[in-house]
Amino acid sequence: MSDVSLVVNGRKVSGSVEDRTLLVHFLRENLGLTGTHVGCDTSQCGACVVHVDGKAVKSCTMLAVQASGSEVVTIEGLANGAELHPVQAAFKEHHGLQCGFCTPGMIMAATDMIRRHPEGLDEATVRAELEGNICRCTGYHNIVKAVLAASKTMAKSKGKAKAKAA
Amino acid sequence: MGIEGIGARVARKEDRRLITGAGRYVDDMVVPGMKHAAFVRSPHAHAEIKKIDVRKAKAMPGVIDVLLGKELKTDGIGNLICGWMIHSKDGTPMKMGAWSPLAVDRVRYVGDAVAIVVADTKGQARDAAEAVEITYKELKSVSEAVDALKKGAPQIHPEADGNLIYDWEIGDAKATDAAIAKAAHVTKMHIVNNRLVPNAMEPRAALGHYDKAEDHYTCWTTSQNPHVARLVMSAFYNVAPENKLRVIAPDVGGGFGSKIYIYPEEIVCLWASKKTGVPVKWVADRTESFLTDAHGRDHVTEVQMAFDKDNKITGLKVDTIANFGAYMSLFSSAVPTYLYATLLSGQYVIPAIHANVRAVYTNTAPVDAYRGAGRPEATYLLERTMETAARELGVSPAELRRKNFITTFPYQTPVIMCYDAGDYAASLDAAMKAADYAGFAKRKAAAAKKGKLRGIGMSNYIEACGIAPSAAVGSLGAGVGLWESAEVRVNGVGTIEVLTGSHSHGQGHETTFAQLVADRFGVPIDSVSIVHGDTDKVQMGMGTYGSRSGAVGMSAIVKALDKVEKKAKKIAAHLMEADEGDIVIENGVAKVAGTDKNVPWFQVALAAYTAHNLPAGMEPGLKEGAFYDPSNFTFPAGCYICEVEVDPETGVTEIVQFVAADDFGNIINPMIVEGQVHGGIAQGVGQALLEGASYDGASGQLVTASYMDYAMPRADDLPSFQVSTSNTPCPSNPLGIKGCGEAGAIGSPPAVMNAITDAIGNNDLTMPATPQKVWAAIRAAKKH
Ligand code: FES
Ligand code: FES
């Protein structure tokens, strides 16, 4: 058994876990954050993507102990209270989800993708970057649309914020 | 239509919880005292169980119990069944072998469940499962259906001699043979429809909870049809009487057919919960899903299509061998018969059709309905054959199809189905226009300059949905009726609950069903809640599959709404001292037509429940139920065009455009319909280019049992799709809906394969058309 302590969605949490416990299981079982899903056992599907210290990580590929001391954001921590994150809002507006099982991982991966591409995104880049996330329902068409739309919205609001600051 | 009514592009109500991580899937459920299960599964494709030793496993940390098939039998738990009786052409009933939820003396495929371990944690259960010692005597196995029929093949079930489950036929053999004998041209093909793994992203799961105090069972399960699960588990598997069993299918992460069936795991978890006295949860890992979810397709077919000198089809002869795997899954028998051969007329006038189908046991996972179920197989063989015939006859594929289209309705095919409405030329025209078919030659030439091979292919599919009139399917062997039920419950303040037997696992019912109500009474969809997926809450239901939730499920809601509306009008008329016939309900008020007299909707509802001032003799309340039994199948149809570029150096295929023109009848929410088509196309393209379940011939091991080995379509394998609809309303249901859930998966595989074979100039290519296969086919074509 090992002790872990980390910050999840802004809250300090700690626990004692079996050494083999994966981060995803710690989040789901110890913390009850069941929005992060498990869709495979070979780190292929991306249903489990969360942010660890600001970067998208497949939480099934990381031991809970490895995440100790880190800051983790899960799908539950993405919205600002009742106000949806622009990526969440875009998935809803563009029908980027059907059964919703891949969705938390998709949204977390997309958020990270948009952050890494301040220059903006095009369809080919979005498709290539979503390579690690499988969706069986949507055929990706509307997911791609949602990510592109969110990237535009976020660029605009960033631009506005900058303009304000200046 | 109103902004939230029928036809409106309304954003989904269910999204909010799903995008914020608040969805509740079975694996998210926690019950006090809950323990975890792992199944011990056969590592062999075919073996006798000689000895099972559980002593070591039982002594492992955290282990509560290890239970075996023998005990399950002692407790009277029944075998799994196939619920659709098919008779062979000699009149004998299908030969169903026994399928025990936990194998007792023999295992028949890799993954066959042998024992369940219940422990404090999932990890402990798994560790202990590995410590269960089973002595097997390995037997010879067979994984291909064609081989299983050969002399000397291993016998899998004593009931099915030579592994043949049934040998069934439909149509007129004599007339078909005569048409072929007289034909000016016959196109012959050997068609393989590759085996697929459905791969809903949420793995299957079950949580069984026996409550001793109430002597009552609850099962949370990943099901597309919880009521059917309850019925089957009570009536056939003897788990619990129906009145003591509650089945809950909460948020379910995709189904595509694979979650219709009742599998051993939910039965065993419920039974084990009673045995151990603790709630028992099992969640499949992905490898278990690959091994044990019902697979799809797996047909091998010889086809002959006869043409007269005017290129009119005169006959179609089909001989199919269908792989059923090691056991007959719940609806397996219906797939290659009534869901397949009855669609072999396609969109065409074919005077004589004959199909023979042999269903065969093999040492592989059970095979059952997967998105489209039978109809993709029929469409694939017809549309590959049509395209091939056009090439052989030297005519345009579009014109050959057009010449043979059915144009007058109703049209009685020679294989049971009677098509009620359609306009196949309209879809063909729409698709050709959207794809700029006329400009293809130019694009091909431009691609050639870049060293690429460009090809175009089409597919004109028809399917039968809205399954189905109960009496009709009953006469064909179905063990159940295929109606749907609904209850519309207006609360005293005017908010509304709709209880439906349809189950939503991605289809967006919480939105589209609410749109029906909004359309009817002009109330906001936010005041309408859709309740589904719980046998204790919803009266009865048959569930969601076969694109039936719109055509059948919504029709039941319409019937219940009719009754509510009628009563509400009576109440409103009484309140306003007007004539019932003059009342209209719209925009949330009941008013007297042509006057400004009105009462708000909520007051009508309130009056129904205060019952202070109701028409004489009227019962209080505003709540009505209805069952809807369809009077016919519905027949969605359409035309898909795929254009590809193949790199001759690598064999890599890129889909450069994909066009879908569908006729789904009337549409409730176009956004959701388009989403269904996108998803279906992705699965169809997956079948054509990437996916294929493959068993090792010698060992019977599933070689493709993970996402490293089974190629799922990913975002960068697909283009954006151009989808459109041109609709002829369905005459047989009140909304004129045909259904849209399966079309994409049905129509797309032949379009892709026709495009690739067009590009490379070699028709000899099987799905999935991997770069390696395409590359080899290009080389082979050059040699000729
Ligand atoms: S669960 Fe982490 S990638 Fe599939
Ligand atoms: S929405 Fe179902 S898997 Fe993506």
B614-672 pLDDT per residue, tens: 999 999 999 999 999 999 999 999 999 999 999 999 999 999 999 999 999 999 999 99
Dist. CA B182–CA B233, nearest whole Å = 53
Determine if ligand 2 sits within 6 Å of the CB of residue A135.
yes
Average pLDDT, chain B: 96
pLDDT of residue B467: 85
Task: Tell whether B683 is within 8 A of chain A (Cβ).
Answer: yes
Measure B661 CA to ligand 2 centroid, in angstroms: 24
What mean pLDDT is predicted for residues B565-573? Answer: 97
Task: Tell whether B747 is within 8 A of chain A (Cβ).
Answer: no
pLDDT of residue A166: 66
Nearest to B201 among A33, A42, A135 (CB): A135
* Strand B411-412 versus strand B418-419 pairing type: antiparallel
pLDDT of residue A157: 85
Of all residues in chain A, what percent are helix, strand and coil, respectively (each to 5)? 45, 15, 40
Structural domains in chain B plus CATH codes:
31-139+202-253+259-292 (3.90.1170.50), 141-194+295-402 (3.30.365.10), 420-461+636-784 (3.30.365.10), 483-628 (3.30.365.10)
Could you tell me the sign of the dihedral formed by the alpha carbons of B214, B283, A68, A76, in that order? negative
Dist. CA B513–CA B198, nearest whole Å = 26
Is pLDDT larger for residue A164 or for residue B701?
A: B701
Q: Please list the residues that pair with B208 across neighbouring strands.
A: B219, B280
Dist. CA B742–CA B677, nearest whole Å = 8
pLDDT of residue B784: 65
What are the backbone dihedrals phi and psi of residue B593, each rounded to the nearest 5 degrees, phi first? -55, 135
Are B410 and B420 contacting, i.e. CB atoms less than 8 angstroms apart? yes
Helices of type H across B132-190: 145-148, 173-182
Q: Please list the residues that pair with B47 across neighbouring strands.
A: B107, B138
Q: Residue B1: pLDDT above 70?
A: no
Measure B281 CA to ligand 1 centroid, in angstroms: 20
Nearest to A136 among B30, B200, B252 (CB): B200
3-class SS of residue B487: strand
CA B619: distance to chain centroid?
Answer: 42
Separation in Å, CA of B275 to nearest CA in chain A: 25
Residue of B nearest to A89 (CA): B19
**3-class SS letters over A49-60:** EEEECCEEEECC
Determine if ligand 2 sits within 6 Å of the CB of residue A143.
no
Q: Which residues of B touch A36 (CB under 8 A)?
A: 21
What mean pLDDT is predicted for residues B684-696? Answer: 98
pLDDT of residue B468: 82
Helices of type H across B149-298: 173-182, 226-235, 264-276, 286-292
Separation in Å, CA of B156 to nearest CA in chain A: 31
Task: Tell whether B690 is within 8 A of chain A (Cβ).
Answer: no
Determine if ligand 1 sits within 6 Å of the CB of residue A15.
no
Residue of A nearest to B722 (CA): A141
Q: Please list the residues that pair with B626 across neighbouring strands.
A: B486
Total length of chain A: 166
Are B40 and B47 contacting, i.e. CB atoms less than 8 angstroms apart? no
Dist. CA B531–CA B529, nearest whole Å = 6
- Nearby residues of A10 by Cβ (< 8 Å), 6 or more positions away: A77
Note the maximum CA span of chain B. 90
Nearest to B679 among A34, A38, A137 (CB): A137
Are A150 and A87 contacting, i.e. CB atoms less than 8 angstroms apart? yes
CA B397: distance to chain centroid?
Answer: 30
Residue with tokens 């709630």: B279
Q: Which of residues 758-777 of B touch A (CB under 8 A)?
A: none
Instruction: For residue range B463-505, list pLDDT tens digits in order.
Output: 999 888 898 889 899 888 899 999 999 999 999 999 999 999 9
- If we measure between CA atoms, which residue out of B451, B516, B456 comes closest to residue B488? B516
H/E segment holding residue B570 = helix B555-576
DSSP A100-115: -SSHHHHHHHHHHHHH
Residues of chain A where predicted confidence (pLDDT) is lower than 70: 166
- How much of chain B exceeds pLDDT 90, in percent? 96
- Domain covering A86-160 in this structure, CATH number: 1.10.150.120
* Strand B35-41 versus strand A11-17 pairing type: unpaired
Instruction: For residue range B419-447, list pLDDT tens digits in order.
Output: 999 999 999 999 999 999 999 999 999 99
3-class SS of residue B383: helix
Measure B526 CA to ligand 2 centroid, in angstroms: 24
Are B59 and B88 contacting, i.e. CB atoms less than 8 angstroms apart? no
The answer to whether the CB atoms of B19 and A103 lie below 8 A apart is yes
pLDDT of residue A110: 98
- Domain covering A2-75 in this structure, CATH number: 3.10.20.30
Q: Which residues of A touch B681 (CB under 8 A)?
A: 139
For chain A, domain boundaries? 2-75, 86-160
| H helices, E strands: number in chain B | 20, 28
Q: Which of residues 492-551 of B touch A (CB under 8 A)?
A: 505-508
The answer to whether the CB atoms of A44 and B706 lie below 8 A apart is yes
Residue with tokens 């040699």: B783
Q: Which residues of B touch A128 (CB under 8 A)?
A: 715-716
Dist. CA B79–CA B97, nearest whole Å = 10
